[in-house]
Amino acid sequence: MTKYTLTVTCKTKRGIVAAIATFLAESGCNITDSAQFDDIESGLFFMRISFVSESGASLDALKEGFIPIADMFQMTHGFHDETEKMKVVIMVSRFGHCLNDLLYRWKIGALPIDIVAVISNHMDYQKVVVNADIPFHCIKVTKENKPEAEAAQLRIVEETGADLIVLARYMQVLSDEMCRKMSGRIINIHHSFLPSFKGANPYKQAFERGVKLIGATSHYVTADLDEGPIIEQDIIRVTHAQSPDDYVSLGRDVESQVLARAIHAHIHRRALLNGNKTVVFPASPNSYASERMG
């Protein structure tokens, strides 16, 4: 039986859940996992449903049949085949911890994605990427050629049919135009010291202030740079005994884990935009299982 996911966002109104459940049941589908959230402040309703088609109903048939319900409640919604892997472009500069972590998770199936390209403004990780049979593109970025460089990057995204761009410590600021064009489809990772410690050596700044918690934040990219809707965060404790270099090393681990969890939420359609925030539903059963365990 084919497994599908349905995501829904609309103004809250009585009868939404009943209408969806009735439609799926009458279409020969069985719900296996469901999560919903009613945001009192925004007046928006969010829902994510995993289900199987026991009658063999196709995705196109479900989409077509759902139109009257979507129109009735003015829904933003999407049906997705859970067996189809999302196409992803990874962008990286000279810090490779997130890239290497993602490549490993991808290799063992812990992140069921299709990495269609890796783009970098340096050559440091060409061999690592090519050895994984993934196309590598080095696109140098300067103040003078930034528009042309971004145009080349977008061509790769369009030609590969990528659904998501992952900034795995890509140290170039994206233009407002690129952020708007890929709105909701770019995920970034950075340390969680902002806005307290900006600029160069944030971990050293944190050390000098005696910070006891360091962490990482992964978010959707907007024109507001590091202020996009947050998907995932985590922290670890440090003490007076750690050095600035220890902070950096520990920070790398947190960044890698947080970015992977954010991507996992996005590719499984668990992260839904809610203005400047996100609604992130729990993972469905078995969604963390790898093709190659251990």
Looking at the annotation, which residues are catalytic? 226
DSSP string, 108-162: HTSS-EEEEEEEESSSTTHHHHHHTT--EEE----TTTHHHHHHHHHHHHHHHT-
What does the block give as tokens for 100?
Answer: 């290497």
The span from the CA of 136 to the CA of 171, in Å, is 17
Tell me which residue of 16, 23, 6, 18 sits closest to 65, measured CA to CA: 23
Asked whether 117 and 103 are in contact (CB, 8 A), the reply is no
The span from the CA of 122 to the CA of 284, in Å, is 38
Burial status of residue 133 (CB atoms within 10 A of its CB: 0-12, 13-18, 19 or more): exposed
Stated as kind and residue range, the H or E segment containing 186 is: strand 186-191
Omega of the bond leading into 195 within 30 degrees of 0 (cis): yes
User: How many helices (H) does the chain have, and how many strands (E)?
Assistant: 8, 13
The greatest distance separating any two alpha carbons of the chain, rounded to the nearest whole angstrom, comes to 63
Tell me which residue of 20, 120, 125 sits closest to 70, measured CA to CA: 20
Cα-to-chain-centroid distance, residue 218: 8
Asked whether 140 and 149 are in contact (CB, 8 A), the reply is yes
Residue 201 phi/psi, 5° resolution?
50, 55
